[in-house]
Amino acid sequence: MPRISDRQRIAQDIRNKIASGEYKPGDKLPSLRELIAIYDVSAEPVRSALLILQAEGLLEGHQGKGVYVTDPK
């Protein structure tokens, strides 16, 4: 079985948390530093995962303010 990359694992975990309601629309995600600690990785896979989820429309980033879950409506 192929090993999934850290960025894919992180993106899927955040997708699951959004789907389960753990992260609700409008919620701010933990900071980059906190996500690095949570997933025990360097900054690059966390940034990549967040970019993937932003491209999918699940998250939106605000420079200097954080990353938020979008409202699907």
Return the domain boundaries, the chain. Answer: 6-69
Please state, in angstroms and rounded to a whole number, the distance separating the CA atoms of residues 73 and 44. 30
Please state, in angstroms and rounded to a whole number, the distance separating the CA atoms of residues 50 and 31. 11
pLDDT given at position 72: 72
pLDDT given at position 3: 82
Class of domain 6-69: mainly alpha
pLDDT given at position 73: 64
pLDDT given at position 9: 97
Question: For the chain, what's the residue count?
Answer: 73
pLDDT given at position 12: 97
Please state, in angstroms and rounded to a whole number, the distance separating the CA atoms of residues 46 and 40. 10
pLDDT by residue (tens digit) across 12-51?
999 999 999 999 999 999 999 999 999 999 999 999 999 9
